[in-house]
Structure 1
């Protein structure tokens, strides 16, 4: 090689080899020696595949040089990947050109670009991008990536699902234009245009907005202006259902407190009334526990139904079963399907319990020929649905009707009608007791 050619090769920053036709190294520039950690003595005059104790015996390199020698004048960016003992794995792009000065003198110019670090960096960037994209898509909150002019660069799947828009309607558009202007929200403008430029972030910025497509939404917005990239991250948490649930919970707790208060008031009322009309502690205990159990049975039915309404037939059957009576030849329970509210259920449970207690002591349940028919019907009057309930005992003979105006009798004749907003009556005939109750059912 001439001195000029050698100087040119040595100034090239890439590793370069000049090979003879038999692949003997005629010249190696300083970049080659430094890059692959070899000396001139280990390189010059040696066959290429013998360099570094055979480390350069690379099948892909042999194929490349074979092409240059047999077919082409040059080969560009031929990718070779190889594990060197001294410097580890390297990815190289090889550029080879055949130089022919005359038919008897032919050289191969081999330039080597080590792209190991570049490919590693590109791979890491791709992996980082993929990681970021998958991370964003895995976040349950809606997330927007905005450009400095507030155009949407991208959005995650949660955003599309939550706000029922498509990527075509979102990406590349100003955020205020999404969904035909649905996102032109004054509070959002204030957060993005006033707060963010000054503070570089905002946290749990609450925005309430009525969307034409998905209705009213309560949202918490978190914004971040990135430090090393001209982008804005906007995370949106939909708090609508949570707030609705909290409101429902508050109403439920209030209702529960009200119900407990009413139940305790009923318990206290039953206790005081029973105590006033009991001559002994034993009499009080028996009567009070029976009435308390009746109240508990009504509460069980209300809790079991869950809706706050109880079927009248089920209520009557349950109370009479507690006294050992079921529908057979001596008991009939008949009427259309009627459901009672919580207030009506509690009043009716007390009514049926007191009637059944009287029947056990004096009436149909106390005598072998006794019979009980419980019936009801529905009538409409003045736009209201009214219930007419009748308890009729028969097969009973009284030497004289029970004359004691106790708690149960007073409850049936006076309190029940008042509690239900209707009328109630209790009569003792020679054949047995007859109770009638009429009131308007709650809507």
Structure 2
């Protein structure tokens, strides 16, 4: 034990940490001397002070040597324990003038009392505004004169700060909140309404005396019980709470009230407002959103929305019905990976990323898998919505339009165009060949003209049949019927057609039409149709072959003049035997028995 440390004096017992500090302090180095020489009045005052829960400091002697208790050490903050044993004017130099006045009055036997006294102190090395309730009283020593001044120091900075903040907040917000229809009510710790602003009273719709001074439950007996619990929670946790509730006012009006309770000092500042219009607007908005959703679901195309980065926010019902998905995909990337055809995925994401970079329209055609596992073509188009303030993309609004049938039709149309171009070229080549051969073998211009017209008419009639069939083939019966129709007279039965309904490809149809026209022309000139008794039989059948079905067609004349084999082959015969054989990839033979011309055609149907 330090030789300077006296035994534990009775008046310091139960003095806590502050008492121990006082016992160990070297008071001999101060004007008041060692503890052993302290007067009883000093000891009694220190003992009383140490046992007080209120911050107290004793300024002893004319120098105002400071002795204080534990609560005061907390008030002194960073200056504790240096203040212990120091001269008050030196210990608190920033308020030396104030303390000099205190010492002057107290040592003269006077008292001082200050409420919410504002001083600037350096407790933590920096200036801070501090508010305190200060009470100073003289301590009479054994001589009957003031030996020191006892100060009770209660800091009210917290309360003053809150009250100032509340006043500032009330000043700042009153006009704004009144203009916004907000109301303000102040409650004390017993939830008694101590003040209300004009807007709150207007909302209440009743005089002040019916509300002010009453507890929340007295003023609003029909309020939602949860509201009272909210106030208790705010008071206990010292944390703001909010609540929106439906309330029926005493005069019968029904409102939706939005409450915000803020702890202020020992009470609550409650801001509230009638948000009935807002709630009704939200209800209308929900109804509107529901209508828009119904409209979106009614649209026969897929509608979707994503955020700026492609995270999905909405898909209408068509998406789920088409894909069979039960959950909304998380992102555009997941849509591409899980639903878009693998051949189209890279193109889709490349187009979307480019649209994001350029803040432009996203458009692509890709195939989407249906719930049946089939893929259909869709035109996908999305436009960005940008924040008008920052011009940054906020979200994408898109639609996926089923263009599968149109695309297939376009592809088919292009195929038909290509086929038509091909066949037109072939037809022109055929016309060129027919014209060239006809002109070269005709004996006169008149004969050439008649032969050329007949052959072109036959070609035209075959084209008519194919056109009706979209050039996908023709019925052999129609081809034969059209080819010999010009040679059939009303009331006569000289042309006999027999055979099944067989579809032949376009090239075979044209070739047979030309061949039948040539045969019919010769029959009119020289054969069975050149008299009144001749007849022609045209019969066909389909027979199996090693490479598939084959067409067997026979032209046979009878009843006409006796036939003699020609001395030379004309263009008609060459057209039938050579060209027909080449076009049909088969055989065509003409025989000239005396009973009538016979032509036999054999060719594959494929």
Matching of residue 312 in structure 1 with residue 476 in structure 2 = yes
**SS of 2:324 mapped into structure 1:** coil
Q: Report the CA distance between 1:136 and its aligned residue.
A: 3.6
Corresponding residue pairs, total: 364
The structure-2 alpha-carbon separation of the partners of 1:153 and 1:336, relative to structure 1 and needing over 3 Å to count, comes to: same
**SS of 1:384 mapped into structure 2:** coil
Tell me the residue number matched to 1:392: 556
Paired residues of 1:145 and 1:233 also in contact (CA < 8 A): yes
Candidates 270, 274, 281, aligned match of 2:438:
274
Matching of residue 435 in structure 1 with residue 593 in structure 2 = no
Alignment of 1:8-87 (within 5 A): 8=195, 11-15=198-202, 16-18=204-206, 77-78=247-248
Matching of residue 142 in structure 1 with residue 330 in structure 2 = no
Q: Report the CA distance between 1:339 and its aligned residue.
A: 2.3
Matching of residue 284 in structure 1 with residue 284 in structure 2 = no
The structure-2 alpha-carbon separation of the partners of 1:266 and 1:6, relative to structure 1 and needing over 3 Å to count, comes to: closer
Q: Report the CA distance between 1:304 and its aligned residue.
A: 1.9
Candidates 420, 427, 440, aligned match of 1:263:
427
CA–CA separation in structure 1 for the residues paired with 2:282 and 2:563? 107
| Runs of 5+ consecutive residues of structure 2 not aligned to the other structure | 1-191, 213-219, 224-245, 258-271
CA–CA separation in structure 2 for the residues paired with 1:312 and 1:261? 23
CA–CA separation in structure 1 for the residues paired with 2:428 and 2:387? 63
**Higher RCO (CA < 8 A, seq sep 6+):** 1
Q: Report the CA distance between 1:322 and its aligned residue.
A: 1.4
The structure-2 alpha-carbon separation of the partners of 1:402 and 1:415, relative to structure 1 and needing over 3 Å to count, comes to: same
- After TM superposition, the score normalised by the length of structure 2 is 0.50
| Runs of 5+ consecutive residues of structure 1 not aligned to the other structure | 20-24, 30-71, 83-90, 96-111
Candidates 319, 323, 335, aligned match of 1:159:
319
Matching of residue 249 in structure 1 with residue 413 in structure 2 = yes
Q: Report the CA distance between 1:148 and its aligned residue.
A: 6.9
- After TM superposition, the score normalised by the length of structure 1 is 0.66
Paired residues of 1:221 and 1:236 also in contact (CA < 8 A): yes
Greater Cα radius of gyration, structure 1 or 2: 2
**SS of 1:159 mapped into structure 2:** helix
Tell me the residue number matched to 2:255: 93
Cα distance per residue 1:106-162 (max 9 Å; x no partner): xxxxxx976574356436534653454355445554222335785543211332344
CA–CA separation in structure 1 for the residues paired with 2:369 and 2:276? 55
CA–CA separation in structure 1 for the residues paired with 2:544 and 2:363? 55
Alignment of 1:44-443 (within 5 A): 77-78=247-248, 93=255, 117-118=277-278, 121-122=281-282, 125-126=285-286, 128-130=288-290, 132-134=292-294, 136-137=296-297, 139-146=299-306, 151-162=311-322, 164-166=323-325, 168-170=326-328, 173-174=330-331, 181-182=338-339, 185=345, 195=354, 198-200=357-359, 202-205=361-364, 213-215=373-375, 217=377, 219-222=379-382, 224=384, 227=387, 231-306=395-470, 308-324=472-488, 330-398=494-562, 400-401=564-565, 403=567, 405-441=569-605, 443=606
**SS of 1:381 mapped into structure 2:** coil
**SS of 2:387 mapped into structure 1:** coil
CA–CA separation in structure 2 for the residues paired with 1:27 and 1:73? 13
Q: Report the CA distance between 1:390 and its aligned residue.
A: 1.7
Cα distance per residue 1:61-97 (max 9 Å; x no partner): xxxxxxxxxxx965873489x9xxxxxxxx96399xx
Please tell me the root mean square deviation across aligned C-alpha atoms, in Å.
4.3
**SS of 1:18 mapped into structure 2:** coil
CA–CA separation in structure 1 for the residues paired with 2:364 and 2:583? 50
Bigger shift: residues 426-435 or 221-230: 221-230
